[in-house]
Amino acid sequence: MDKLAMEYGGGLFELAEEEKLSEQLLDQVRALAAIFKENPGYARLMDSHSVTRAEKTELIRTAFDGRIHPYLYNFVCLMADRGYFSSIPACFERFEECYRQSRGIIVVKVTSAVALTEEQKSRVQASVERKTGKRAEMQCVVDPDLIAGLRVEADGKLFENSAKSKFEEIRRLLQTAVTGENT
């Protein structure tokens, strides 16, 4: 993450914390991040030198005024005014990162061969929370190449108990036994 995102995203989070608006702004930050991701042309337009400052201000006003918290609205205007509009998504990532750190939340990526049921998700979440001592924010992904089992990435650690990983382990053991080389 670049210095600009660290500074501006972190600053936005500090303001939200001071004003006790973190949860409200987090929801809006996530919604705006999704909008910007779905509409990459908007950032290109806002970063274009052929669009005047007044036109950019009007575009932002039309899109967001009264629809998002004034602090967030002013943040978007500031970033556009300074020519940093395309850095907003990275700033939002930093905001979320600060939010999670301040609340002891970790992102847990769970990859499975088939979609997990709510009960299975709850069990994995509870297990990760017991092992890490932190609240887990789950991101579930389906990867049919796993065949069976789970791959759980949490707090910089990988916990893999998939058929694919077991087959890879067997392949390495067999190759070592046959060739004497470990690859």
Q: Are residues 73 and 136 in the same domain?
A: no
Q: How many domains does the chain have?
A: 2
pLDDT of residue 172: 65
Answer yes or no: are the C-beta atoms of 52 and 97 closer than 8 Å. Answer: no
For 154, the enclosing helix (H) or strand (E) is strand 149-154
Residues 123 and 77 grouped into a single domain = no
pLDDT digits (tens, 9 = 90+) for 83-123: 899 999 999 999 999 999 999 999 999 998 889 999 999 99
Q: Is the pTM of this model over 0.85?
A: no
36 shares a domain with 19: yes
Among the listed residues 152, 143, 146, the one whose alpha carbon sits nearest the alpha carbon of residue 123: 152
Q: Of 85, 101, 117, which residue sits at a domain end?
A: 101
If you average pLDDT over residues 13-34, what whole number do you get? 96
Phi, psi of 159 (to 5 degrees): -115, 110
Measured between alpha carbons, how far is 58 from 173 in angstroms, rounded to an integer?
64
Domain co-membership, 108 together with 51: no
Which residue has better confidence, 183 or 51? Answer: 51
Domain that holds residue 27: 3-101
